[in-house]
Amino acid sequence: MKPEFQNLTSKIVKAKNSPTIFRLGVFVVLAAIIVLMFPRYNNAFRYHFELGKPWGYNTLTADFDFPIYKTDEQMEKDQQQLLSTFVPIFKYIPRVQREVKVVSLETMEWLQNEGYTRIAINQNKYPLSEVYTPMTAHKKFGYDCATNLVLDTARTESLRSKMLATLSPTQGMVQKGEKIVGKGEIITDRTYQVLQSLRRAYDDEALGTKQRTLSVLGESMLVLLFLCLFVVYLYVFRICYLRSTSTVLFFALQMFIVIGLACLALRFNLSVYLIPFAWVPILTRVFFDSRTALFLHFTTILITSIVVPAPVEFFFIQIVVGMVAVSSLSDMTRRAQLVQTAAWILLAQVVAYTAITFAQTGAITSIDPWMYLYFVICALLTVGCYGLIYSFEKLFRFISSITLVELTDINSELLHTLAERAPGTFQHSMQVSNLAAEAAKAIGANALLVRTGALYHDIGKITDPLYYVENQAGVENPLLSMDPRDAAQVVMAHVTEGEKIARRNHLPEVIINFITTHHGTSLVRYFYNTYCNAHPKEKVDESLFRYPGAKPSTKEGAILMMADAIEARSRSLEDFSEESIAKTVNLMIDAQIADGQFAETPLSFKDVEDIRRVFTTRLVAMNHHRISYPTLNK
């Protein structure tokens, strides 16, 4: 291969891989941010406790040997006891009255305040009662006595320091593996002292640095592991999500918000149960599917469990929350459903917390009444998720079931205009929406989405409604007098016009996609055949008669394309028997498959067969014969 081609190939591969690298990089950056957000508490010591309060974590055992340090009160008491035998050292200053021991008034006050009862002079000890100040000596002996004793500060402090150095700051040791405190146990004076000693051991510079390094390393490894498992899930089961940059950013932003709020609560010593972790499964379920919602929720609470108190209890309760949120919100089409979901979550949290507390402690006194208040606040915050749904819709250009329901309102301005200007097209769209929704239900596709897309798929016919036969109502078709090539261009224009109208009216991108793909790149068969028959020897340029596309890429898009063509074709039938309708359905779908219109969709053979069956059944029901009513004989 020539170097130029090798360079070109290399550039193409790099360009193709760049979005993938970026999306994977989002998770790596998220992992780094999460680890940085984790609260560090007191270096590597990450427990909060209070004297006389229950231990809120799992049973704590010693990871290494450490001494039990005495309390400040104990140290002060021991020092006083030790210093009770200590005497300060004085030096004689030669004076006439050598037999009288005289110190300055300031020195005497210091000796008394320190509690000394004796002093040492040249290795001899004398009671403080034999020592005088100049004033007391004068009163005692009747004559003035000068100060002849001076404190030997250097020797006194040296001797005092050596004596205090012999005093041990610890009392006993805790051995590695030894139990320190059990979950739910009250923090007694003894336990508090041991925990403070453990905190002090972690504060040791050498140990603290090592522990912090290993702690951060372990946290990083766990966070990356959990995120990698989520990426693997997406790769195996939801590759389309992993290929979408906006979807990856949506998942990452959810985890960042919820985990960030949890870390913030922990930093301010607030309960982590105030944080509405149900936001993650609710938001994900509204825009995507239940399995992904649960998997993302599990990933989020696993990461949060690294730093929360009592992680097993936390994980147990939050698993219940996620399952209840997804189960009670199978398809959110009404605002009231969110309130109902919040109520079920509140009930589930109360039951789960009560059950796990009884199971672990077997005592009703272990219940913390404040927890129930936290659950109520969390439920109220869960309802606030509605505002996030709207924000994420605008930010990531997603579409929720609530928005779809609002778009299906036939009294909306755009659909009302369609019904007014192109009544035939409006009725056609209604029939197509019913057909497509039934087919979507049969194969597990999004029925509400395809129903909404069907209502808007022909919105472009508003511009020139009389060019389309369903709106002509007996008026001669103006297209028949035109050149078939021009007529085909006029017919195909409703796709591009529909896209323009949809964008002017700010319809979601997913609905616009139905407008641009509901004909795919198929031929305007009527005018193509007419032109070919009129010019049998001419090589006809098919591009003049093909819709601009693109082809549908989703099950819903394929269903709409089938339903649109079959509903229109069924109106030309004279025989509405089941056999005739089934034949028409099969011919239309087979022609679209042969034309490669569904090559980019994930439809299976079974899906196609189910769609055929539903279309046939529904069309037979829509076009059933009614009995003739007899006239009244006079």
Q: What whole-number distance in Å separates Cα of residue 115 and Cα of residue 201?
A: 35
Encoded tokens for 133: 């100040």
* Position 625, amino acid: H
User: Higher pLDDT residue, 203 or 316?
Assistant: 316
Going along 239-322, which residue ranges are E strands? Answer: none
CA 169, 175, 176, 177 dihedral sign is: negative
Question: What is the model's pLDDT at position 94?
Answer: 75
Question: What is the model's pLDDT at position 625?
Answer: 59
* Position 603, amino acid: L
- Percent of the chain topping pLDDT 70: 90
pLDDT digits (tens, 9 = 90+) for 420-446: 999 999 999 999 999 999 999 999 999
Question: What is the model's pLDDT at position 248?
Answer: 94
Question: What is the model's pLDDT at position 204?
Answer: 66
Question: Where residue 28 falls among pLDDT bands split at 50, 70, 90?
Answer: very high
pLDDT digits (tens, 9 = 90+) for 193-237: 888 888 777 766 555 566 667 778 888 999 999 999 999 999 999
Q: Across residues 506-521, what is the average pLDDT?
A: 92
Question: What is the model's pLDDT at position 63?
Answer: 78
pLDDT digits (tens, 9 = 90+) for 126-163: 888 888 988 888 888 877 788 888 888 888 888 888 88
pLDDT of 407 over the 50 cut = yes
Which has the minimum average pLDDT: 7-11, 244-248, 322-326, 589-593?
7-11
Q: Across residues 289-315, what is the average pLDDT?
A: 91
pLDDT of 326 over the 50 cut = yes
Non-local CB neighbours of 103 within 8 Å, separated by 6+ positions: 90, 111, 131, 132, 133, 147, 149, 150, 151
pLDDT digits (tens, 9 = 90+) for 532-546: 998 888 888 988 999
Question: What is the model's pLDDT at position 385?
Answer: 83
Q: Helix (H, G, I), strand (E, B), or coil: what is residue 574?
A: coil
Question: What is the model's pLDDT at position 199?
Answer: 79
Question: Where residue 622 falls among pLDDT bands split at 50, 70, 90?
Answer: confident
Q: What whole-number distance in Å separates Cα of residue 19 and Cα of residue 536?
A: 49
- CB-count exposure of residue 397 (10 Å: 0-12, 13-18, 19+): exposed
Question: What is the model's pLDDT at position 172?
Answer: 85
Annotated domain spans of the chain: 3-37+210-396, 73-165, 401-622
- Percent of the chain topping pLDDT 90: 43
User: Higher pLDDT residue, 296 or 328?
Assistant: 296
* Position 25, amino acid: G
Question: What is the model's pLDDT at position 5?
Answer: 42
* Position 597, amino acid: Q
Residue with tokens 């070919």, as numbered in its chain: 532
Architecture of the structural domain at 401-622: Orthogonal Bundle (1.10)
Q: Is-contact 167 70, C-beta < 8 A? A: no
Question: What is the model's pLDDT at position 180?
Answer: 87
CA distances (Å), origin 43, targets 34, 47, 309:
17, 10, 16
pLDDT digits (tens, 9 = 90+) for 589-619: 999 999 999 999 999 999 999 999 999 999 8
Question: What is the model's pLDDT at position 352?
Answer: 93
What is the pLDDT of the chain when averaged over all its residues? 86
Question: What is the model's pLDDT at position 403?
Answer: 85
Q: In what order do the strands lie in the sheet with 89-92?
A: 124-127, 118-121, 89-92, 149-151
Question: What is the model's pLDDT at position 537?
Answer: 85
Question: Where residue 12 falls among pLDDT bands split at 50, 70, 90?
Answer: very low
Most confidently modeled of 139-153, 445-459, 467-481? 445-459
User: Higher pLDDT residue, 406 or 564?
Assistant: 564
pLDDT of 9 over the 70 cut = no
pLDDT digits (tens, 9 = 90+) for 544-600: 999 988 899 999 999 999 999 999 888 878 777 888 889 999 999 999 999 999 999
Q: Across residues 45-61, what is the average pLDDT?
A: 72
Global pTM value: 0.67
Most confidently modeled of 167-171, 368-372, 407-411, 438-442? 438-442
